[in-house]
Amino acid sequence: MDFKRFSGTFLVSAFSAITAVGSYHYFLAPKQTIQVVENTPARYAAYSAAGKDAVQPIDMRYAASAATPTVVHIKSTYKAQKLSKKDGDQAMKDLFGDEFYHYFQGPNPYRSQAQVATGSGVIVSEDGYIVTNNHVVENADEIEVALHNNKTYKAKLIGKDEDTDLALIKIEGMHFPAASFSNSDSLMIGEWVMAVGNPFNLSSTVTAGIVSAKGRNINILGKENGTGSSTAIESFIQTDAAVNPGNSGGALVNVNGELVGINTAIASPTGTFAGYSFAVPSNIVKKVIFDLQKFGITQRGFLGVQIRAVDDEIANNVGLEKPAGVYVETINPGSAGETAGLKQKDIVTKINGISVNSAPELQEQVARYRPGDKISVEYLRDGKLTTTSVILKNKYNTTSNIDSNRDVLGILGIEIQELTAKEKSQLGINSGVKVLDLNEGKLSEFTDIKKGFIITQIDDQNINSVDDFTNAIKGKNGKILLEGIYPNKPMSYLYAFKM
């Protein structure tokens, strides 16, 4: 066989076959979608055991694994209240509504049905201290805590702070997983955060979002709208992480799983999440729980000034190029601000070197300090910047920490005195303290109690001394019942009010 002739024939045949197959696929075969597979892997934030090596705040796995064991489920139980049959349903309405005065005569009390509410909390120490919202445990007679591992504990209330809607409770034990605090001042708008709650006692739930704003005042705690006349501290971190009511008291953490806030409120027309949630900054949380643990109450330092944000009108009047700082409307006589030389129409620009441009921002900075602490205040007066040192005072205008007993009596607006043995004998009673005077406070606001009233019991507990009285009320959260008599009147009276 001629090899050259065979090779040529083979090549021609092969070329013809390839051409025929190619023509079929191009002109006659049905068209198919071509799938291109890219071998370059998707890029996520670096994940490491330390968590702090993240390149970008996208991967929240470490944050979730670090934070979820520290978040607990809280069940608050409200026992039935003893009331008079005389007033029936109206008394019940009064007790659980806005009015808190009741008249009680004779036996035959009846009780309402116990109720239960739930929320979340965050373990902040290995020995069992837990921070939550005050409204989660408010009015509770019993508090039960369920941990991430489903173990349950009875908790006791250590203290509360209505001004920040925070409360501190404690469970007995050791070596609990505790949250690590981060500096909330360093949190930046646009930064990724995760909200962690335990609303259903199933396991912690996590949602992620970004910081939308800082220093938000949404007027849910104070009565005044940002004028500074309310003692409430509203300087919330605003995020778009989904938070629903059962998550109240849960953790807001950064990408490292560190606590930057306590989730407190949502902006919603329906009661469910609708786009924004609000958290108390961790720097305030840390200070409040330290005070509650050490003193039983929050030690607040006050400048003693009424303030509001600088608007265009104020800026034009004082010659500012744009609104900035906080305008001093009035100075309280004898206050820390007056002693330090602050005056009406001053514009406070910085507290301890940190710029403040709204009443909430100023209140947040001052709220971190106690009576007797010295802070630096920079202010603008007549176009000139000046810095002064201010020694903060308490609400009684002294530089001392407030004793919890005095604070109880001050909040109630009451002065009491122990009964002598002779007085008890004449009245035919074995216990009691006498109301000497009534001032502005919760008792005069919510009841018509009169001077001379003898308080014999608080929530069915006998009262024999001033210490008995203050100890029975100190740490109480919610509705309190005072029972007693008036001299020369044969009946018993019951007054109810809310702490």
Q: Which stretch of DSSP H or E encloses residue 74? A: strand 71-78
Asked whether the beta carbons of 108 and 246 are under 8 A apart, the reply is: no
Q: Which of 76, 102, 120, 135 is catalytic?
A: 135
Identify the residue whose tokens are 């630096």. 376
Q: Which of 182, 212, 235, 248 is catalytic?
A: 248
Whether 165 is a known active-site residue: answer yes
The DSSP annotation for 335-387 comes to -HHHHTT--TT-EEEEETTEE--SHHHHHHHHTTS-TT-EEEEEEEETTEEEE
Q: In terms of C-beta density within 10 A (0-12 exposed, 13-18 middle, 19 or more buried), how is residue 5 classed? A: exposed
Asked whether the beta carbons of 291 and 297 are under 8 A apart, the reply is: yes
The set of residues, in sequence order, having a beta carbon less than 8 Å from that of 34 and lying 6+ positions away, is none
Nearest-10 Cα torsion for 298, 352, 314, 329: 40
**C-alpha distances out from residue 53 to 45, 49, 58, 425, Å:** 9, 9, 12, 75
The DSSP annotation for 157-211 comes to EEEEETTTTEEEEE-S-S----PPB--GGG--TT-EEEEEE-SSSSS-EEEEEEE
Q: Which of 120, 161, 163, 165 is catalytic?
A: 165
The closest of 205, 233, 497, 449 to 362, measured between CA atoms, is 233
Identify the residue whose tokens are 């018993």. 492
Half-sphere exposure of 415 (CA within 13 A, CB side): 6
> What is the distance between the alpha carbons of residues 394 and 407, in angstroms, rounded to a whole number?
11
Whether 175 is a known active-site residue: answer no
Give φ, ψ of 207 to 5 degrees. Answer: -135, 150
Q: Would you please indicate which residues are annotated as catalytic (active-site) residues?
A: 135, 165, 248
